[in-house]
Amino acid sequence: MRVISLINGSLISETMTVYALNYAKQLNASVNLVYIKGGDSLKYIMLSVENLKLIADNLGVEIEYSTFDSLLQFKEFVDEKNVDMLFCSTRQQHTIFDKSFVKSLITQNVKADLAVVKVVKLGNVLAIENIIMPIRETKLSVKKFTLFSTFSLAYNAKSEIYSLDEISSKDMYKVTPKIIKARLKDILFGLRHYLKLLRELGVRFAIKHDFALAEGERVKAHIAKHHYDLAIVGAHPEKALFSHHPIDILFENPMINTIYYLPHKD
């Protein structure tokens, strides 16, 4: 099994790769640092490779460096290998579906799960204390849970599942402490199998729930109020052509380093 990290010589791609290295260590996987030829400085790319090799050695992760002439050539390479996850970074003020290299990866249907990382802070990626994963109600896929729990274990981080119920302003006034308590009980029941796995894995975790008028803004307010080092957000590509998913605001205008997860459709 291997993990691929697409680098371009920037500090952002270096930071993103540190996440990939810690993820790979937890899975006992090797990491391929990959550069797809473009207009980037080869000098800075090689400096990144050397820096990342030092970090990989300290983590005990096997690392290789490869270059490809084109995205098509890279896709053929991935299709032949057992790739668990493909990590890449994108500009901070950039949506997932703008014309970009990330969109090209999605369009090409590269045979791997994709973790798109937006880096807001360059520091503290070697030590993460708190991870947050926002979800709608109890809508949590096995794939997203696996990514979340893997990062929680990799960093031995305290991790929070933050559940949101969208509600109208009219209904918000009807919410009582009794309703809040009953809804949290329902959430805990709906997520019971995931919570059991977290306990068995030894992950330190918390479950929080809120009613929200605007889901994305509510999560941003929650992040601003508490201290988190990393957010893991599920992708909603099926919404891109028809409507805007409210949680996407966490990726488009992140407050903290954010991993936007797009599992490959088998």
Q: What is the pLDDT of residues 77-106, one digit of tens each?
A: 898 888 899 999 875 544 444 456 677 777
Host H or E run for residue 222: helix 215-225
Chain centre to alpha carbon of residue 95: 14
Reduce the DSSP state of residue 223 to 3 states and report it: helix
Residue type, 69: D
pLDDT computed for residue 98 by the predictor? 47
Q: List, in order of start, the domains of the chain with CATH numbers.
A: 2-118 (3.40.50.620), 130-256 (3.40.50.620)
pLDDT computed for residue 121 by the predictor? 85
**Buried b or exposed e, range 215-252, using 16+ CB within 10 angstroms:** bbebbbebbeeeebbbbbbbbbeeebeeeebbbbbbbb
Host H or E run for residue 208: strand 205-212
pLDDT computed for residue 241 by the predictor? 37
Contacts of 254 (CB under 8 A, 6+ apart): 92, 118, 120, 231
Q: pLDDT tens digits for the chain (266 residues)?
A: 899 999 999 999 999 999 999 999 999 999 999 999 887 888 999 999 999 999 999 999 999 999 999 888 998 889 888 889 999 987 554 444 445 667 777 777 788 899 999 898 888 788 899 999 999 889 999 999 999 999 999 999 999 999 998 888 888 888 888 999 999 999 999 999 999 999 999 999 999 999 988 888 888 889 888 889 999 988 655 544 334 455 656 666 678 899 999 888 76
pLDDT computed for residue 50 by the predictor? 95
* pLDDT digit string, tens, across residues 146-167: 999 999 999 999 999 999 988 8
pTM of the model as a whole:
0.88
pLDDT computed for residue 100 by the predictor? 60
